[in-house]
A = this chain, B = another copy of it.
Amino acid sequence: MENLNRIKNPRLHDRVVTAEEAAGWIQDGMTLGLSGFTRAGDVKAVPLALVDRAKAGEQFKVNVFTGASLGSDVDKMFAEVGIVNKRLPFQADPTMRKKINAGEHLFVDHHLSHVAELLRADVIETVDYAILEAISITEDGMIIPTTSTGNNLAFAENAKNIIVEINTAQPDLEGLHDLYSPGKQGERDPIPLTKARDRIGKIGIQVDPEKIVGIVFTNQQDSPSTIVPPDEETQIMANHLLDFLRNEIKEGRLTETLAPLQSGIGSVANAVLHGMVESEFENLEVYSEVLQDAVFDLIDAGKVDFASCCSITLSEEKMKQVFGNFEKYRDKLIMRPQEISNHPEIIRRLGLISINTALEFDIYGNVNSTHVSGTKMMNGIGGSGDFARNARLAIFVTKSVAKGGDISSIVPMVSHVDHTEHDVDVVVTEQGYADLRGLAPRERVPMIIENCAHPMYKKQLWDYYQEAVERGGQTPHVLEKALSWHTNFAENGTMKQTVEVK
């Protein structure tokens, strides 16, 4: 069997099993730690075999811990057959989302950099089976990850048992990963990383080979990313952001190489980063969680010299281009555990410029990244809090309106707070940007309304603020109307106040 070459430790050859056999070990009530971060590097066989058991009529539920979102429709199928008890820390699947919002699955929406700490400190459930996608297993039992590193190291260290899925369809990324565990709180040293390109760990996950109880072979590419290409509005947003950065250079706060860039998952953040392709900036570095298409466009354009990440999530076309010609990129990339890609120590030390997507923000700069109308989960906070809280520049981007103008992304009070006004430096829409740094709440309001809100909502925002300011306060509000825009949308399908009949 040619595949056996991928298992360089011959003592492990007898661990090869079918996906069905491995899935058969999983029992009701267990906790699974699955590889996978923003669709990349997820395990693609054992989860499906588990779904088949449920489809055949078996009753069971498991906790599903991951890096971030999964591809391969795993979350969708898990939700459809209803085998999830608790899901942690991020998901992005519409079917799963529906079940979560219906209260059928518990979802612990958590900062991506913290999951490893929770596992290490034994605060959350111990992982019964870590199921990790790999390129290969080395002679001394090191598991070489594929297109994401995620929580793989933390799961492997914490798990009672490990199942490895060796995916022969994945590109040969051996040597690209940098696995570093900071060790226990109170006993650890500083994380010795001072530049985005520093290598501080091992190229694979070193485990006791006895913990590897099963090895399954697969041959299936990652699910391509679901981002949509940049459009006119996102290009305008990118231009606003570039203007802001140019002004920072003019003010002497940044140089032309800027600072290491982080960009969140999703079309808008990708498009904004893509907007730098045509910019004058050069010798840029990226220190991010996920690399989307835009980063490779920037490498191709000679703009980005080096990118540190936790996963590579590309569109179908970009996947062919990048993995079909990988030697071009190999020495420009490093992949780290999400605990390190998103670690506050590193984010603050490097002074990242952090660009993440908001669902909505309010006139004082509080940001909602997760909850539609304050109640319904979209995807999760992901790494946005890790970055925003510690970055040199925490930038949030969103289009100023949604649903054809019936939703204003700028509201009097956000219906859910993920990032407080303390942690939000700059907000950007297609209308413009507001630089909130060093401003008191009352100073922020005119900048946000005038620079960022859609013209059709400006008067309504000013009316709210003027009524609020008459009542006074550090952060003036008319509490009984603060969430009325959201309730208006729920009742009447629009945030627009009814026009008086003349």
Contact = CB atoms under 8 A, between A and B. Distances in A.
A387 to B, nearest CB: 12
A415 B252 CA distance: 39
Given A194-B190, A351-B186, A381 B422 contact: yes
Given A107-B474, A123-B437, A371-B474, 18 more contacts: A101-B473, A103-B476, A107-B440, A110-B422, A121-B253, A122-B251, A122-B253, A123-B253, A124-B437, A185-B349, A186-B349, A344-B348, A345-B348, A345-B349, A366-B417, A373-B479, A374-B482, A418-B420
A189 to B, nearest CB: 6
Nearest to A486: B479
A443 B85 CA distance: 12
A32 interface: no
A437 B406 CA distance: 37
Nearest to A442: B103
A191 B118 CA distance: 24
A265 to B, nearest CB: 17
A350 B186 contact: yes
Given A123-B253, A472-B102, A482-B374, A190 B188 contact: no
A375 B124 contact: no
B121 A392 contact: yes
Interface in A319-346: 343-345
Given A472-B101, A475-B416, A479-B483, A349 B190 contact: yes
A108 interface: yes
A102 B343 CA distance: 40
A493 to B, nearest CB: 15
Given A350-B186, A438-B124, A474 B344 contact: no
A153 to B, nearest CB: 17
Contact of A188 (B123, B349, B476, B487): B349
Contacts of A100: 474
Contacts of A185: 259, 348-351, 392
Contact of A479 (B385, B418, B476, B487): B487
A86 interface: yes
Copies of this protein in the complex: 2
Interface string A187-205: 0111110100000000000
B439 A375 contact: no
Interface string A235-276: 000000000000000011100000110000000000000000
A333 B260 CA distance: 38
Interface string A468-502: 11011111110110111011001000000000000
A149 interface: no
A454 interface: no
Contacts of A419: 420
A177 interface: no
Which 9 pairs of residues, A with B, have the shortest CB-CB distance? A185-B351, A375-B473, A190-B190, A377-B474, A417-B417, A106-B440, A124-B438, A345-B345, A344-B344
Contact of A374 (B103, B108, B109, B479): B479
A311 interface: no
A298 to B, nearest CB: 19
Contact of A469 (B103, B188, B343): B103
A376 interface: yes
A111 interface: yes
A122 B253 CA distance: 7
20 contacts: A103-B476, A106-B442, A109-B422, A109-B474, A117-B392, A122-B251, A124-B437, A190-B192, A344-B344, A344-B348, A345-B349, A374-B473, A375-B468, A375-B477, A385-B423, A416-B475, A417-B420, A419-B420, A479-B486, A480-B483
